[in-house]
Structure formats: structure tokens, C-alpha cells
């Protein structure tokens, strides 16, 4: 079975706070890819990051960072010093070597000024 | 380099009518995917196509839905005899190679087409 769980349905923080969005996945495959997408209120899906299952290095891009831990099947996303413009729904997704990308249900992040 | 282009962005159809959603992949991308997002839900895979071929349609409803990606022109997702339950956002995505290939297997999404059935 292949499944992505984003247990946090909604998170609300005040601007400048750090926030971590959790993503836990299930797959029996040894080769797979993990993604994070952002869906702002305008509705489009914005690609944030792709990580393959053999690369457990954490990644930092500006205020964004990702922590990939195969031991716990997690691929968590942290926003440092959050801003109002970070308000969006964030989706974690998993794809194997087939073509079926499985998305989590999404976490709605609200950053208040 | 334009991204994945979808049109129309918004479409209203009466029950029983047909809906056609178009998707032009990014330049150089020959792999197209369609996903559906129901209100307040995540995205669900529908179909994966390459030029003139349906590779995987395991997520497509068995009836009323069809997809094509002709040699020339955009990919089309067609919904016949729409019902209220078809109201959703339909996202198209493209990639330069198949997902199983490491290089360039990032999948980019279009802005979505919102279908409302009244």
C-alpha cells in the first residue's frame, strides 16, 4: 500500500514564528520520490521540492527546510520566521516508479500578522 | 518558458452537458498527468498519457470520462453527461521524462480548471 498522511489539518501561527508541517508516508518500494507543493489561495500548485529515497540529506532553501528520515518514514517541512505570504495549503506527495502520485490531504497554514 | 497551461480556468456546465478541459504541457515535456481535487480534499490521480498513448488510466472513472494527448495540440480531459459530483478542480501536470527516470522527473502542475456543475 502507498499512503501519505498529513495529520495536521490546520495550523495557525503568528508572523515570525517557526512552523513545521509533518508528513508521514507508507510504501514498500525501495525507490520512490517525495514532493512538497504549495497551494496558495489563488489555487495553483507550486512545486517546492523533490527528494528521492536514496538521498536523506536535509535541504535548506531560504526560510524553508526539509527533514527526510527514512527510519521514521517522514519528510517534514519547516518554515522559519513565517510570513503572511506563506499562508496556503501545503501538500506532501509520494510517487513510486509508476505514475500514481499519492497526495496527503494537505495542511492549511494560516500566518497571522 | 511558459509553464503548464490549462484552460478554461473556470467552467460552468449544466447537468448532462459535456465538459472539455485542455492542457498544454511545458515546452519539451511529453508526459502529461491529470489529477482531480474535490472540495476540501487532496489530489487524486486520474490518468497518465504520453503523445498518442494512454499509459495509465487506473484513476479514471469507468464511465463518462476520457482523456487524450494527440500528436499535435493539447491534452484533453473530456467529461460527458456531467453530474454535480463532477464539480472539482482538475489539475494537469507535465514532466519531461517518465517518473521512473531520475533525471528531470519533477512534475510541474498547471493552475487548474475549476468545473462547476449546476
User: What is the residue-level pLDDT of chain B in tens, covering all 118 positions?
Assistant: 468 999 999 999 999 999 999 999 998 888 899 999 987 777 888 999 998 899 889 889 999 999 999 989 999 999 999 999 999 999 999 887 765 555 446 788 898 999 999 9
Assigned C-alpha cell, B13: 456546465
Residues B7 and B20 sit within 8 Å (Cβ to Cβ) = no
d(CA B79, CA A4): 28
* CA-based nearest distance A59→chain B, Å: 16
Residues A43 and A107 sit within 8 Å (Cβ to Cβ) = no
List CB contacts (< 8 A) between A107 and chain B.
none
Most B-contacting residue of A99, A104, A106 (CB-CB within 10 A), to test interface: A99
The residues near A90 (Cβ < 8 Å, ≥ 6 apart) are A6, A21, A36, A37, A38, A39, A48, A77, A106, A107, A109
The answer, for A108 touching chain B at a CB cutoff of 8 Å, is: no
User: For residue B26, what is the DSSP state?
Assistant: P
Report the DSSP beta bridge partners of residue A8.
none
Cβ separation A103–B100 shorter than 8 A:
no
Question: Average pLDDT in the A33-56 region?
Answer: 88
Q: Which of A31-45, A92-106, B14-28 has the lowest mean pLDDT?
A: A92-106
Angle at B64 between CA B58 and CA B69, to 5 degrees: 60
Amino acid at each position: 500500500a502507498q499512503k501519505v498522511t498529513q495529520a495536521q489539518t490546520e495550523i495557525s501561527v503568528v508572523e515570525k514564528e517557526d512552523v513545521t508541517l509533518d508528513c508521514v508516508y507508507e510504501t514498500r518500494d525501495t525507490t520512490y520520490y517525495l514532493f512538497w507543493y504549495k497551494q496558495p489561495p489563488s489555487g495553483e500548485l507550486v512545486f517546492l521540492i523533490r527528494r528521492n529515497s536514496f538521498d536523506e540529506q536535509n535541504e535548506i532553501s531560504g526560510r524553508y527546510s526539509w527533514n527526510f528520515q527514512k527510519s521514521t518514514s517522514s519528510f517534514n517541512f519547516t518554515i522559519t520566521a513565517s510570513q503572511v505570504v506563506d499562508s496556503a495549503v501545503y501538500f506532501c506527495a509520494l510517487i513510486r516508479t509508476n505514475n500514481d502520485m499519492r497526495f496527503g490531504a494537505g495542511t492549511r497554514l494560516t500566518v497571522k500578522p | 518558458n511558459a509553464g503548464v497551461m490549462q484552460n478554461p480556468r473556470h467552467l460552468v456546465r449544466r447537468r448532462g452537458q459535456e465538459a472539455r478541459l485542455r492542457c498544454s504541457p511545458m515546452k519539451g515535456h511529453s508526459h502529461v498527468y491529470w489529477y482531480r481535487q474535490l472540495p476540501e480534499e487532496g489530489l487524486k490521480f486520474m490518468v497518465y498519457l504520453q503523445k498518442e498513448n494512454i499509459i495509465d488510466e487506473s484513476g479514471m472513472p469507468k464511465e463518462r470520462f476520457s482523456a487524450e494527448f494527440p500528436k499535435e495540440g493539447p491534452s484533453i480531459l473530456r467529461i460527458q453527461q456531467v453530474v454535480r459530483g463532477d464539480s472539482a478542480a482538475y489539475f494537469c501536470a507535465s514532466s519531461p521524462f517518465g517518473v521512473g527516470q531520475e533525471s528531470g522527473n519533477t512534475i510541474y502542475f498547471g493552475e487548474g480548471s475549476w468545473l462547476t456543475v449546476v
